[in-house]
Amino acid sequence: MTYEEARVYLDEVSKYGSVLGLDTIRELLYELGNPQNDLRFIHIAGTNGKGSVLAYISTILSETGFRVGRYVSPTVIGYLEKIQINGNWISEKVFTELVEEVQRAIVRMETNGKASPTVFEVETAIAFLYFQREHCDYVVLETGLGGILDATNIISNTKVAVFTNISRDHMGFLGNTLEEITENKAGIIKPGCVVVSAAQEEAVRKVLKKAADKNHVPIQFAEPDKVQVLDESYHGQTFSYKQFENIHIPLAGLYQIQNAATACEVLLALQRIEQTENKCEKTSKKSVYSMEAIRNGFLKTKWKGRFTCIHENPVFIVDGAHNEDAAKQLKKTLERYFPQKQFIFIMGVFKDKEYEKIVQIMLPLAKRVYTINLPNKDRTLDADLLKQVIEKNWEATATKEESLKKSDESYEVCSMPSLKDTIDTVMCQTKEDDIIVAFGSLSYLGDVMRLVGKEEKIEK
């Protein structure tokens, strides 16, 4: 099997769609010898910020000398980005070999009348096999959808269960209220772990606290009032939090410091776990969590597609804001870094998202909007339909003064035939002091970066 054939096989597996539940992934991993049982996990659930917190934690742990596996979704730059060790992607050769091994396990399952795994379950199994064979000290992974029935929740050796911001997303799949959504995500809490959470709404705090108490495990919430922002721009920011002083992160966005504070709490939890394990083993190992390593880890963290500047003069920002809460954070960040400015937006969204709310939040900042179709043709909201939604909301979302401005013919929304045409048009028509923002979904931002010239072409 070649790498191309492996990818074709996974495309065929994807016909089984997305099915929540652990029975099939349990059978698959059993056929493979349960590699996940040999690993230690930092498991991350939430609505927004999972990937950023994962990037901070895994980079810092790598910097301290650990061998750290990452399992992320969705990817931005390339397909193999989803499985990494210490920031290095799995190779095509190793990936292909593991696909062949998993394929043989699936044949055995099907022969015995077992259900066929989904593509996410297959990818999860591949990741666990890879991390086990590469002897990872920690695996940092984010849930795919929800928590309790997500395929990643098959793991049992969770050291830290982490919760980033939880808000309303995937309504219907995870629950119809914020409390129901939180209960679903809280399913990753297991006996013996430590729970760390970002600051949350009171309703979310209560559910997480109840789940932690039920499992007899401690829970620590990040404390925003202990964050001191020392410097900030759209190129990065510096902050202090508790004993973590003068930490610089190259990631912009108001929410990133809160994500970093959550990562700090995870590090504190890991230090406590390490101290407890040393006492139990009656050893006196020196802690590897030096402040120098932590600072270097934060400084070296990369997480593209999250308020990332990919061009100057004009400034071009890409951000994966794809739900109501993320759109609110994006709007606040743009207003903070670029006060009194209006923006040129490129927008593509999935039809199963609350796109009208995103439109209503972002439109007051817009001078011009270009709508596009996303690469996933089955899930994309048609660019012409998105244009109609935007046109309908111009008046409703604007103040009286902004409505007067929008009567100018330069304020417009355009449905574009392709992303390349959009980038060519935007880059030709904008002035040096304009600000361009592409958002709505992570799924097309890698293509935006390649078209603007900031990323090499990578097979996806």
The segment(s) of the chain belonging to CATH 3.90.190.20 are 308-452
What per-residue confidence (pLDDT) applies to 96?
Answer: 98
The predicted-structure confidence for 361-398, as pLDDT tens digits, reads as follows 999 999 999 999 999 888 899 999 999 999 988 766 55
Whether 51 and 69 have beta carbons less than 8 Å apart is answered as no
Integer Cα distance of 208 and 241 in angstroms: 23
What DSSP line would sit under 244-283, residue for residue?
EEEEEES--SHHHHHHHHHHHHHHHHHHHHHHHHHHHHT-
The predicted-structure confidence for 21-48, as pLDDT tens digits, reads as follows 899 999 999 999 999 999 999 999 998 8
Integer Cα distance of 388 and 392 in angstroms: 6
Amino acid at position 210, single letter = K
Q: What residues does 415 pair with on adjacent strands?
A: 371
| Region of residue 231 (phi > 0: left; psi between -120 and 50: alpha; otherwise: beta) | beta
Q: Which of the residues in the chain have pLDDT under 70?
A: 16-18, 169-175, 278-288, 395-411, 454-460
Whether 102 and 127 have beta carbons less than 8 Å apart is answered as no
Distances (CA, A) of 38 to 156, 214, 398: 10, 26, 56
The third-level CATH classification (topology) of the domain covering 3-300 is UDP-N-acetylmuramoyl-L-alanine:D-glutamate ligase (3.40.1190)
Token pair of 223 as six digits: 């404390």
What per-residue confidence (pLDDT) applies to 175?
Answer: 65
Q: Given strand 343-347, what is the order of strands in its sheet?
A: 308-311, 315-318, 435-439, 343-347, 366-371, 412-415
Whether 442 and 73 have beta carbons less than 8 Å apart is answered as no
Integer Cα distance of 190 and 186 in angstroms: 9
Token pair of 42 as six digits: 């930092």
What per-residue confidence (pLDDT) applies to 400?
Answer: 39
Whether 346 and 272 have beta carbons less than 8 Å apart is answered as no
Q: Given strand 236-241, what is the order of strands in its sheet?
A: 227-233, 236-241, 244-249
CATH for 308-452, among 1.10.10.10, 3.30.1330.10, 3.90.190.20, 3.20.20.70? 3.90.190.20
The segment(s) of the chain belonging to CATH 3.40.1190.10 are 3-300
What per-residue confidence (pLDDT) applies to 393?
Answer: 86
Q: Is the pTM of this model over 0.95?
A: no
What per-residue confidence (pLDDT) applies to 404?
Answer: 44
What per-residue confidence (pLDDT) applies to 146?
Answer: 77
What per-residue confidence (pLDDT) applies to 17?
Answer: 67
What per-residue confidence (pLDDT) applies to 76?
Answer: 84
- Beta strand pairing call for 435-439 and 244-249: unpaired
